[in-house]
């Protein structure tokens, strides 16, 4: 009789259950044990903000598979309320502590999987242990927050950190009638996801939705009264709060791996090879606790995502049962719903690409999600990032109320395939008026980069123009929209001049060929045409604002 393969899996949220299911399908005879310190396996942690808000009403809906399903269908031993304490690699044993009783015992393995996930970052601030101070990492956290909100008298709520979870929870709290302030140490929201000018497009929507945003403010502590939190202290001010959510990111749970002598990478995650093996070939690891290879840079990165954890789990389940599957890496693809807006990214942002030493060219293009004559369409803003010399695509960001996810997924596929800008410009995407324009915003974004490459389009981005305005530089800010549009909204600065595009050729004498002229319209389509007209007439220094008013984030300059 062949020897039974003894598989032990530490961690039962995403990667662990996926690995067990895959392993069982490939090896019906294996002895499989999964260890989880909480009550349930396979909890949908990515949906926790929607459970807290009440969009998902029943806690049972947050559990993808009940424990008995794993026992009965997958014929595995499910050990809940147990914590893996240590790994003896020489004897291939895992020491387990029973949390209710505190008693320890050991279990032997042939193949071991570490899927211990990540833990919220909690700075050592005074007041961090006060009632009403929460992190959000699991279902018990979500249930505790949901209960606390129901009895909350002081509705002022502070979220520290403007990342994915922080902004999802801003919406969740606001929809429950709480007054929400988001405090971010950096200068814009979603700083690990978006470039500044793209984030500013979302920022305006958040503020219109009633969210107070404080940027560039570092929290130094929390204060309380009667054991409950009552405020947040920053370097600049104090903020009243009846509830505080710490949303400062996560760190990989690697203590059991480190104590066992496994290699920990420079990022702080467990080091694994393409087969998701650790430095011990009998131990595999996946999910938030490991570092991944970035497909663009080749560098090791921490990108904790439930989608990645599930891919890891399937590959590990294959390999611990004799397979040879590999995981190539990640692009950092992510998307988030923020009230009526979507914000997504894949690959590198412009700031990240420059940090890695790329000489980049970008485009910033607003446009409708589908044909503008078909009713009900909503806007999106697309930013493409490419390598200037080769046209190789490096990243994409899409934000706005319109359909962003499908554009991000197209670009994730393009980046994985190593496409260049010209490939995107000619990509055969599906088209019908209810679904798309004849030229998708991705096509337009790629063509803007091509026009820059071919010295046809010359642009400034919103940040560059604001700096010129702040410095009171001398130039002509030419608006080529109609008079009715001008009266409705415009950039109200001394440099402004209105000449509608249809009148431009007849009114060239109002401009001087040596002037620096920066043109804008609503989306930059007319502004680009105006640039070409002026250059054809001998004007030497003509540019247009990328995205024009549709991408302009600075309210102070509008009237």
Could you give the 3-state DSSP secondary structure of residue 157? strand
Which of 444, 423, 516 has its CA nearest to residue 475? 516
Beta-ladder partners of 111 = 7
- The answer to whether 229 and 223 are in contact (CB under 8 A) is yes
Which of 537, 543, 480 has its CA nearest to residue 513? 537
Based on the residue annotation, tell me whether 46 is a catalytic residue of this protein: yes
CB atoms within 10 A of CB 225: 9
Could you give the 3-state DSSP secondary structure of residue 243? strand
Which one-letter DSSP state was computed for residue 43? B
**Residue whose entry in the numeric block shows the structure tokens 């043109």:** 519
Which one-letter DSSP state was computed for residue 548? G
Q: How far apart are the first and last CA of the chain?
A: 83
Could you give the 3-state DSSP secondary structure of residue 133? strand
Tokens coding 477: 């800010």
Catalytic residue among 46, 289, 396, 521: 46
- Length of the chain equals 559
**Spatial separation of the C-alpha atoms in residues 14 and 391, rounded to whole Å:** 37
- The answer to whether 187 and 342 are in contact (CB under 8 A) is no
196: phi > 0 → left, psi -120 to 50 → alpha, else beta; which? alpha
Which of 3, 7, 2 has its CA nearest to residue 321? 7
**Spatial separation of the C-alpha atoms in residues 12 and 66, rounded to whole Å:** 11
CB atoms within 10 A of CB 180: 26
Catalytically active residues, by annotation = 46
């Amino acid at each position: 009789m062949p020897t039974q393969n003894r598989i032990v899996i530490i961690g039962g949220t995403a990667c662990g259950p996926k690995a067990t299911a895959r392993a069982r399908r490939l090896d019906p005879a294996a002895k499989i044990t999964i260890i989880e310190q909480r009550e349930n396996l396979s909890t949908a942690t990515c949906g926790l903000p929607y459970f807290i808000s009440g969009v998902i009403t029943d806690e049972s809906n947050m559990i993808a598979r009940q424990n008995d399903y794993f026992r009965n269908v997958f014929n595995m031993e499910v050990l809940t309320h147990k914590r893996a304490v240590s790994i003896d690699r020489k004897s291939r044993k895992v020491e387990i502590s029973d949390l209710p009783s505190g008693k320890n015992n050991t279990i032997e393995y042939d193949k071991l999987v570490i899927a211990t996930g990540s833990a919220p970052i909690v700075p050592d601030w005074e007041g961090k242990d006060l009632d009403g101070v929460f992190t959000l990492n699991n279902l018990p956290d979500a249930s505790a927050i949901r209960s606390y909100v129901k009895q909350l008298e002081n509705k002022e709520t502070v979220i520290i950190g403007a990342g994915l979870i922080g902004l999802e929870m801003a919406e969740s709290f606001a929809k429950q009638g709480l007054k929400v302030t988001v405090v971010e140490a950096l200068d814009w929201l979603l700083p690990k996801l978006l470039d500044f000018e793209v984030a500013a497009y979302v920022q305006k929507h958040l503020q219109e939705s009633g969210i107070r945003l404080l940027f560039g403010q570092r929290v130094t502590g929390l204060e309380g009264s009667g054991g409950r939190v009552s405020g947040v202290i920053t370097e600049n001010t104090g903020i009243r709060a009846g509830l505080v959510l710490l949303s400062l990111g996560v760190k990989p749970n690697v203590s059991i791996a480190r104590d066992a002598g496994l290699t920990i990478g420079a990022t702080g995650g467990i080091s694994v090879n393409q087969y998701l093996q650790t430095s011990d070939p009998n131990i595999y690891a996946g999910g938030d606790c490991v570092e991944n290879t970035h497909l663009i840079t080749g560098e090791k990165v921490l990108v904790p995502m439930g989608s990645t954890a599930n891919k890891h789990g399937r590959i590990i389940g294959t390999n611990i049962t004799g397979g040879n599957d590999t995981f190539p890496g990640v692009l950092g693809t992510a998307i988030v719903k923020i009230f009526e807006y979507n914000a997504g990214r894949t690959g590198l942002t412009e700031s990240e690409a420059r940090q890695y030493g790329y000489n980049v060219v970008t485009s910033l293009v607003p446009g409708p999600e589908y044909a503008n004559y078909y009713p009900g369409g909503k806007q999106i803003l697309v930013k493409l990032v490419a390598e200037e010399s080769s046209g190789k695509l490096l990243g994409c960001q899409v934000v706005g109320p319109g359909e962003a996810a499908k554009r991000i997924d197209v670009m994730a596929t393009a980046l994985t395939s190593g496409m260049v800008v010209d490939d995107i410009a000619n990509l055969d995407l599906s088209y019908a008026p209810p679904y798309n324009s004849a030229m998708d915003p991705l096509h337009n974004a790629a063509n803007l980069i091509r026009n820059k490459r071919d010295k046809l389009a010359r642009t400034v981005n919103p940040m560059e123009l604001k700096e010129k305005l702040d410095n009171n530089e001398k130039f002509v800010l030419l608006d080529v929209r109609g008079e009715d549009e001008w009266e409705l909204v415009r950039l109200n600065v001394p440099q402004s001049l209105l000449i509608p595009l249809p009148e431009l050729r007849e009114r060239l004498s109002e401009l001087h060929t040596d002037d620096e002229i920066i043109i804008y319209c609503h989306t930059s389509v007319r502004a680009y045409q105006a640039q070409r007209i002026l250059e054809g007439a001998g004007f030497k220094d003509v540019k247009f604002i990328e995205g024009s008013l549709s991408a302009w984030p600075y309210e102070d300059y509008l009237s």
